[in-house]
Structure formats: structure tokens, C-alpha cells
Structure 1
Amino acid sequence: MVLKPPGPSPKAPNPAHNQDVVQQQQQHHQPNLSWSRHITLDLILLILANSIFHPWITLVFYLCLAAVHKHKEPLAYYTLYYTAFLAVVELSLWFDRRITHGRHRKVDWEGEVVVITGGACGLGRVLAEMVLRKGAKVAVLDVLEPDEEAREEMERWDLVWEVVDVSKAEDVKEAVERVVDGLGPPTILINNAAMPINGLPLLSPSSKELLASTLSPQQVTKTITTNALGHFTMLSVLLPHLLSSPQGAHIVTISSILSHLAPAKLADYNASKSAVSALHSTLCHELSTHPDPSVFHKVKTILVEPGQLSTQLFADITRVPFYTHFFGPVLEAKDVAKEIVRCVERGDGGVIRMPFYAKCVPFLGVMPGAVQRVVRWWSGIDRAIVTREKKA
């Protein structure tokens, strides 16, 4: 099935300008990093999780002891007890996931229709490319026109591209109707659209610079309208299709770990991501208490709250101490996308927080205030946002 790109919309921005914007956003030159930059806390924990903290690995170690007739040695007994403990932990975590998120749903990529907002660049673009190669049908909703590479993909795969502002309900409804006509009813929604970062404070360094250097209500409105209201709009239009899907559905919400941290100079972005995370939680509770119990098992939800990604969203406005890279490395979009696709492919729901520190951040809020202040000072998070570099 070959689908052609949609016709130009009278409300669409200048295509030539959009092509330049996409190319600028996709250009992300990374310096040659030394080998030491790849040594991070996450790498160490990954090695441990697949060695001494993995029940199958420790069981193999016990069997090795038994093979040399040392199964009655104290070390063998301790190894066996430790293996049993790890197995109990794994089983408990499995039961917790099943109670929290219900049974797995069967995912057949060739029968899935994936709608991705903000799929022109960054994480959304990577996700679109991944699920396309899995065999799924994909619809990208973005304010930007498709670039040359995207047009070639539309000739090769079942991909449609709708130029639409996701905060405008009527435009979204019309776009979704075209997607249904071209690809079929959507079964997976990935809410990813987001505005560029303003990086402006609420407080001005001096009264003379108040209007020029602080966040304006217009900027806040634009950010929250796209980042938060866009999620509401997509859900209101797509939920009827997702709930009625015979094979079940997935709703993936792309938020940020900053919704818990709320660093300085990101008031509008923090507020929008906090709203998105709260919206996702409400949706989960409504699904779990739905009058039809099958809905809870059929419709899976995934909340994604990553740390900083190596995209243009934060690239030129963040500066953090050198030592924080070990504890909070900058993520590659492809790594986050792989984890999302893996979770969907299992037919499971859940919460994805990457890297490891992101899993610990929600617990920071219950720490004493003095501890929180020390951690924030040490991490440099409230000093991380700097003035965006102006391009000539």
C-alpha cells in the first residue's frame, strides 16, 4: 500500500521555511568523546543487573560449584539462598506489574496503526522510523511539512503526514479522519509534540530588564497550549478509536523527569510537563475503574519521563558540572525509542524513566528540605539553563 503525501493545507506554514527548520533541528554535531565519557552509573548498573543481580547467572554459578562437587560447601549454600532471594524479588516485581497494568495484549505490528504527534524531528522522528520498519502503518501529525527524506519514506512505507496544530481540535479531527480513511482506525497513540524551550526566568536580574529578560504570558500560553492542551486534544479525538479497537491499544505519553524536578528558568516547560504527567495518571485511573473490565486489559498506557535527550530541544541552553555526566548522562533519542518500542512490543504498560537517576527523582520530594537543597546545588540543575545562543 503506497500512500502519497497529503495536499498542501491553506493554513500550513511556508514549506521552504519548514524544510530549513527541520534541517537545523536535525543537525546535532557531537564532539569526539573520550572513552571515559562512556563510563556512567547506568553502564555499571547494567553490568551488575546482568551478572551478580541476575538469578539465572547466580544459579549457573551454583551449578558450577555443584559440578566440581562443592555443593555442600558454605559458599554453595549462600549462593543458592541468594539465588532464591533474587528469584522471589523478580517474581514479586512481575506480579506487581500484572496487578498494576493488567494482562499483556498481543501486538502484531502489521495490524497496528500508529499516530505520532511531533514526528518531524527528535524522538518523534526516531520512533516513526522504528515502528515503520517493524511493519506498522504510521501517521505523523506535525506543524512542519515533510522533508525530502520523509517524502521518500512515504513512497516506500505506509506513512502519511498531516500538517496540523495538535492544539486545534477541529483540525486534529479532520486530520484523524483522513488517517482513518487512508490507514485504518488508530491503535497506538504517541503523544510527543512539544514546543522549543524558552529558557527564560520568572524573575528579572534588574528592574530595567524586566520585559526583555523574563518569561511573557504569550510564551507561556504557546508552550502550554502545545505541550499540554495538545495531549488533551489528541486523546479526545482518538480515545473512541482506541477503546473500540478489537486487538487493544496503546497510549504513550512523552513527558519529562523535569515535571518532578522543576528547575529554574523553565516555568512554562515544567508546568506543561507536570500537566501531561497528571493527565496520564488520571487516564490510567479511569481505565482501571472503567465499568467494562476488559478495557483495562485491552488499553495499555506508557508514561515516558526521560532525562535530557541529545536533541536540539536543550542542546544549546544547558550547562551542567562535568561530574554530573557520570550520574545523569545525556540520552540518545534512539535509546529511549528502543525502550518505548520494546514495551509496546511486549504488549505491556508501565512507566519508563531513563537514565537511572530519573527512577530515583520521585523519591527526592519526600526528602528533608535541606537534603533537597544540597542535591540541587550539587547537581547544578537550577543553574543549568543559560541564555540561548543567537544565530546570525
Structure 2
Amino acid sequence: MSLEKFSKETTLAMRKKLIGHSCRLFFSEDPVKIMRARGQYLYDEQGRRYLDCISNVHHVGHCHPAITQAAAVQMDLLNTNTRFLHDHIIHYADRLAATLPDKLGVFYFVNSGSEANDLALRLARQYTQHNDVIVLDHAYHGHLTSLIDISPYKFRKLGPQKEWVHVAPLPDTYRGKYRNSDPDPGQAYADTVKDLILEVHKKGHKIAAFFAESLPSVGGQIILPEGYCAKVAEYVHAAGGVFVADEVQVGFGRVGSHFWGFQLQGKDFCPDIVTMGKPMGNGHPLACVVTTQEIAQAFTDNGVEYFNTFGGNPVSCAIGLAVLDVIEEEDLRGNACLIGGHLKQLLLQLQKKHAIIGDVRGAGLFLGLELVKDGAQQTPATEEAAKLVKRLKEELIIVSTDGPWENVIKFKPPMCFSIQDAELVAEKIDTFLSGITDSVERKGT
């Protein structure tokens, strides 16, 4: 079937008519119409090439030939209901298990990060026989009703917080209550969770789970302080709950030094449940939950079958296996260390030059550049961040903002990002900031 090719204006007009307006586009005032992509580049209807700095979904690069070939070959051979026995799902689970701590060895395959986090919530409640959940402030865990309820980023805009949801402070060592200058910010932030658990118990409630992104992204590209997760897990376990690590955005080697973001917290920490999504299918809908034998057995013992028609189907698993192959064969973790480290150093150099850069943080190809109007007061430079995003788009570079005040420029590009890409981004940011920093006075750090 040949589809008619519309002009950009016609496509936009028809979208406004046919698609729900809450489904927003990047650059809503002048959206980019993308026709094709390859690697870290996007091409619009006029053939202009954009550098993609945010598509962590297309983990190993847009339209990677090894991925498209694996999908086509398997689709031509078999794609069927997941209740039929097939080798791919076993091979894939075994490959994933090799990247994880030994205790995490039982897999449930689903189709999206939201599905994964919803299932993790069910697993936690079945295992603990408790109901309440602790989450970090500004967190986002998915778009299902159950996950909106535990995502402060969303539910604060929609209505009252559920009585079974409890919000712990975001461990932000740049602008939070406890900072890098404190003796042990990891312990201090963990103790806020301990205090919250005590409050929950006083109300007669019990904790089923503590949910946290291994590196909070919507919260502003946050790197959790050393020791935080191990101490929180200790407190949560003592309360009869489990620790759920949300790796939907940051898993599969994005941090470079490790395969999983939670591994940045050291060998003393291992979650009870890990959720995965976005990058594992390189754009194909593929997600997963992995947990312990004990938690999985409790879920089985409830007498209710868990069935997912498409989760773990042969085509999805073929794609997942191909993604793992590319990560290894192209040493994309090594690339994340090298290129991410280079980009971070370039941004740190810009921080010395431009007072508006309050903080540079991140690991591998997960980086955040926080803009502030005043170094001492840390007043969010929200308007300036939006202008920077717009200006970079004019230079054919795609970035976006995150954080509670939308003043953090985030970098989560495809893992094939290059030295030249990093230097181009830093050069263009430098040029733009040089034109606006006259209005920003350095009053502190």
C-alpha cells in the first residue's frame, strides 16, 4: 500500500484534528517532521540532518541494520502467542541474567516500561501482603493509573495524593536539603526514608515497596549519592517491604562503567525487583521485570495466572538479543564512558566560563546541565533553558529539558554518539550562552 505524502502543514493540521491534544509534540510551536533516521541522526522532510541528543529509546542508534535485519528475519519465520514454547525467550532471559546479580533470575516479559512497573507493584504487594508505597519526589514511573498514583511528577497536577503513597525527598545533592558539602548526604537522605517509614507505621499502614529510578531523569538527571540505596534497602527490608529499581530509562550500559544504573551504588546493594523498558528493544515495544525466586513464587502462589499475549514474543526477543549483540560488538558501554566523559568535561569547562551554568552532573551518556539565574540562590533559569533548547534546534541539534523547574538540559543520546557530536554540542551551547550571560551575575556557586 502506498501512502500519500503530506506537506508538513497538512500533517500538522490533520494531527490536530485526529490525535488527542494531550499527546504533545516536541517543539509544539514549530514541530520537526522526521522522515528517516540513522545512528544518532534524524532527517526531516527537507533532508536536513538533526543531531539527536535525547533518544535513549533508540539505544544503539536509529534503524541499526543488525536490529532491523533480526526483526525482519524472525517476522518472516514466526511470531506467535507467547504460550507456545520457543527458544528465543529462554536465550534472551539467560543473556539478561548474565548481566545481573545472581539473586535476580526470574523474568516476566511485557511491552512497555509502564507495564513493567505496574507488574512490579503487583509483585511487591503479593509478596509482602502490604499495600503502601514510598516514592521519590518528582518521580515518574509510567502512564497507567496505578503508576500515575505513584508518580509525583504527574499526580501533583491531577488531584490529591493517595493515602497509601508516601513521598520521600529527591536525593539532589546540588539543590536539595543535603548537598555534596555535607559529610554523608547518602546516609542523610536515606534517613529521611527511615523517618517516613516510622510515620507510615504510626498511621497503621505497612510498606510494600520503595520505588526509585536508579538515576532519576524527570527529576533532573540526578545521580544518587553514594550509599543511599543500600541504606534505604536496609530500612525498607526491616519494614517488610521490597526495593524496586526502575531502569526503564537508564539501563543497558548507558552509565558506561556498569550495565545497570543501580550498580553505581556498589556491590553492597542489589534491588529485589528491577524493571526495564525503552532501550531494550531499540524502538520496538519490549520491556521486562526481573525478580527473585522468592518473590516470583509468592506471585505464583496467589493462584492467578499471569499472561501477556505479546510480552516476550519471538520477534521481540530476536530484537532484544540483537540489541545485546550490538552493545557488546560495538563496545557501546566503552563509548558511553569515553564520549560521555568527554562531553561532561566540555560542559564543566563551560561552567567555569558561564555563570548561568549552576551544575553539571551525570554518568556515561546520562548527563544534565542545570541553568540558574543566580549561583548563590540557585534560582532556576527556566526561560533561559527553553531558549537554549529552541536555539539548538535552529542549529539542528535536538535537546530538551527536565527537572522540577524545567531548567535542566538533558543529554541521553543514542549510544553511538561521537567525539565530534559532543564537541559540536558544547560549541553551540557556548555560543548561545555567551549571548545571554550578561544578564546573569555570578553571586556564588
Structure label with greater radius of gyration:
1
Q: Same fold (TM over 0.5)?
A: no
Task: Give the TM-score normalised by structure 2.
Answer: 0.37
Flag the structure with higher strand content. 2
Higher helix proportion (structure 1 or 2): 1
